[in-house]
Structure 1
């Protein structure tokens, strides 16, 4: 395999790698189908090689058949590297493709409804843009500094997608956009303060900062309390996606122990969502 790699690399043996949980993920990439470049398989392979944990195919221009074809490629490459991949918006496509991760927005299919269409074990993620939405997504995994837990979070959620008692809880959520981004035109930036708020909740539910994040500003994101990020252009527009991913991964630091989630990584919790620990 050449492509973006500086030298040919053999694909990892799938039997020798273990697919991580969403909890283990630090670096999440959203990409389109790269129709102009015509290098989708090479690109996602290069991104995974650089340390990306999850790749989401997000391309509104794709027909269902085209998306399923590309997802088959993404699934194969992800398996080579022992990594995760995600489908955006469409639960039917996620179910048909066998996606391990499914992501929705606040105005999309409700989480509980999506779970009725998805195979058991599919991780479901949700975008959040306000304090109320963040608290709702954090759900029963939340204990903030006042001692309030998930029940009050749901009561305060208002119009947000509050996790339902049966099937509505999310497996991860995204907080942003931190900065304005052309990938979400018309969506106002939330700034770093919403990241600080999310970090203050000490939730067991993994969360990712998203929106305009790149190597020039990722240190600000980490300083605000985020341990996980979603990026787009920082890797999709890089001349060397592997090196770009490696640099972002290095900027995130090592591990998730007793960090901004307020949890100790690797300790089993009661939800079975991949080994989150308890509030530190």
Structure 2
């Protein structure tokens, strides 16, 4: 198995974990408090792992701090989107925006070249995700969550490019994962503590197991995709990770009781075709 095969495998596992922890946040009675528990779990794990890695260089610190800002903005938009919209409608939009933006960023900023098959694969995945989004008629009350999801997706694209540069500048991939997770997992729990301390305490007592599961999956998901970024082109990694939309649609249908008709099945098939094209291009 070469580096490309390893990267694809890691990203697909990451996609499953990403869809799952997002569903955990969406299913929570308080999305903000659930996200605070998810981040808190990841923070504790990475604090314990800090002695395993060296202190980053000044260059890497710059990437870490910039990514923390972008990740925090993404989390705030994510919460707002899940507070006002359905998982099956919001999640595809949020994951559909990054591939197009990352492809543009990676071409112009990272000077990565994409083959015709890879470009076609990225486009097919994007078309599939967009069609998943609009399987139902758009109404006025859906506009706000869709807008929040688009903003979240834009920040995902931004921090993906920053992290691609950061992880390649780091001494090891693990070093970047641990230091980034420590600092990006602080803002939301701190905001939750000062905003609604009693609500956070109640959420921890009642749902700590779910919060821990989400935290472990969140950390593993992002760690795997960062390893993949060190092995493969950014646009390909970003596009493959969006297959989490298929898993998200299944979760929405089976566990959140949202509709999953033939249109969504067709959209999922289009995404799979995109994956095959990307694989062939490697």
**TM exceeding 0.5:** no
TM-score by structure 2 length?
0.26
Structure with higher helix content: 2
Structure with higher strand content: 1
TM-score by structure 1 length?
0.26
- Higher relative CO (Cα under 8 Å, sequence separation at least 6) belongs to 2
